[in-house]
Amino acid sequence: MIVNVSPHRSATQSVTAFARAHGLTARHWLGEAFDNAASGVMLDTAALWRLAKPYADVDVVSDLPWPLLHVELSTLHDARFLLVQRNDLSWLASVRRHTAKRDLSYLEKWFYWTYAKPGAARLDAYDDDALLQACQRHRYAVREALGDRLTTFRLEDPHLAERLAEFLGVRKRAGLERLT
């Protein structure tokens, strides 16, 4: 299994679509049902892991909640991990554009509560520096936990599709479509 541990707004949907276009089974985000169930189990990571387990039978999975499941994900010894880094200011603009007008989902809250400050229900509670630091802290935490099991890609790399195909072990048949 390949686990995409990129933060939201970092091509997680695009990587999922790319994997599918190359014949792999892929799942992006565990869905509102998982978010709703996760909010009901509080910080019981064993229960959250049981909720996420049905998705372990796919080739590529994206948007598993790293801040909550990092211990469990780190124990997947046969898994390979990828992280797509997006230019910080581009990531910030995308997060602001797509998240600013609504309450944060339960799992988004845990991302920002873990890496920025706890308690905020909306993104506008964070200044730009706090958001950028949250993204950087996430990347650092993932690198520290996974070490050489993590492969990092740059979203702005003009050869990203070729590099991603090689990592996935497929022959490139399609480009990496930028999805919102």
Residue 131's pLDDT band (cuts 50, 70, 90): very high
Cβ-proximal residues to 35 (8 Å cutoff; 6+ apart), any chain: 105, 106, 107
With 80 as the cut, is the pLDDT of residue 7 above it? yes
* pTM assigned to the model: 0.88
DSSP 6: P
Contact indicator for 18, 153 with CB cutoff of 8 Å: no
- In degrees rounded to 5, what are phi and psi of residue 20? -60, -40
- Mean of pLDDT over the chain: 87
pLDDT of residue 179: 62
Mean pLDDT throughout 97-116? 87
With 60 as the cut, is the pLDDT of residue 41 above it? no
Comparing C-alpha atoms, which of 134, 130, 126, 74 is closest to residue 100? 126
Residue 40's pLDDT band (cuts 50, 70, 90): low
Domains detected in the chain: 2-168 (3.40.50.300)
Q: What is the pLDDT of residues 46-76, one digit of tens each?
A: 777 777 776 777 899 888 777 777 777 888 8
Mean pLDDT throughout 135-146? 94
